[in-house]
Amino acid sequence: MTDEEEYSDEITQEQLDGLIERVNTAESQNVKSTTALATLSAEGKDKNFLHHQISTQELLEKLEHFYRGDKKVEDIEGNVSWETQENTDLVTFNEFGVTAMMGIITKYIDRNTILSSYLEDRIYEIIADVGEELILFMLSNYEQLGMDTYFKKTQFRIMITTTCHMIESSYRRALKGRTLEELNQSKIVGQFGEPNPGGGMAYPQQKRPNGFQRLIGFG
C-alpha cells in the first residue's frame, strides 16, 4: 500500500474549502430566515398593538348592551356572556331608541377621535355639549325611544351620565395626542429596538461563535 493510498481518507484542502463554503451558505440562509421570522413576528405584534390602541369595538358593544338592558351572566366554567333581559320593565329603550342612541355616540366614539389631539379644557367643552344635546333629544322623544313608563323615565339621568362618561373615556385617549404619540413610539421601537438605560437603542445581541465556527473562520 502506498503512502497516497494510506492517507486517501484524509480531508483535502479543496474539500475543507467546500465544507466552509457550505457552512457559510447555510448560516447565511439561517440568518435570513431568522430575520424574516423576527420581522413577521414584530409586524404581528405591531398590528395587534395598533388594533388594541385604536379599537372602539369593546366600548361601543358595552354601551349597546347597556341601552338594550342586557344582563351579564357567567357559566360554571367562568365564561361571561350577555343575555337579553326578560323583564321588559328593566329595558329602558326600544329598538328605535337603541338605534338612535348608537347613531349619536358613534359620531364621538371612533378612531378619528382617538387619533386626534385635544386639550383637557376642550374635552370638557365637548362632553358638556354632548350632555346638553342628549337632554334635549331625550326630553323631546321619551315615548318614541321606548321610555313609556315612570320607571323608565327615571333612568333618564343615568342614561345620559353613563353615555357622557363613556364618550369622555374615548376623548381622554386623545388627550394631548397621547394615543397617536404611543403609536409613533411603537413604530420607532419596532424598527430600532428598545431604548437602553445608558442612552441610545438596545439592539439584539449576536451569539458568540462556537469552537467549530472559530476553527473554520466563521464569525
- Residue 199 belongs to a domain: no
Within 8 A by CB and 6+ apart from 118, the residues are 126, 171, 174, 175, 176
Number of domains in the chain: 1
Bridge partners of 81?
73
Q: What is the pLDDT of residue 204?
A: 46
Within 8 A by CB and 6+ apart from 180, the residues are 115, 116, 117, 174
Q: What is the pLDDT of residue 179?
A: 84
- Residue 46 belongs to a domain: no
Q: What is the pLDDT of residue 128?
A: 95
- Residue 80 belongs to a domain: yes
Contact of 218 with 27, CB cutoff 8 Å? yes
Which amino acid does the sequence have at 31?
A: V
Q: What is the pLDDT of residue 165?
A: 94
DSSP 87: -
- Residue 23 belongs to a domain: no
Q: How far apart are the C-alpha atoms of 213 and 219, rounded to whole Å?
A: 7
Q: What is the pLDDT of residue 212?
A: 38
- Residue 145 belongs to a domain: yes
Say how many C-beta atoms besides its own lie within 10 A of residue 29's C-beta.
10
- Residue 17 belongs to a domain: no
- Residue 209 belongs to a domain: no
- Residue 88 belongs to a domain: yes
Instruction: Identify the domain containing residue 132 by its residue range.
Output: 54-182
pLDDT tens, N- to C-terminus, the chain (219 residues): 555 544 455 556 666 566 666 656 655 665 555 555 555 454 455 555 455 567 788 889 999 999 999 988 888 888 888 999 899 999 999 999 999 999 999 999 988 898 889 999 999 999 999 999 999 999 999 999 999 999 999 999 999 999 999 999 999 989 988 888 887 776 544 544 554 544 444 444 444 544 434 444 444
For the chain, where are the alpha helices, taking DSSP H only? Answer: 3-6, 13-54, 57-68, 95-105, 111-114, 120-140, 142-145, 150-154, 156-172, 178-192, 211-215
Q: How far apart are the C-alpha atoms of 96 and 100, rounded to whole Å?
A: 6
DSSP 90: G
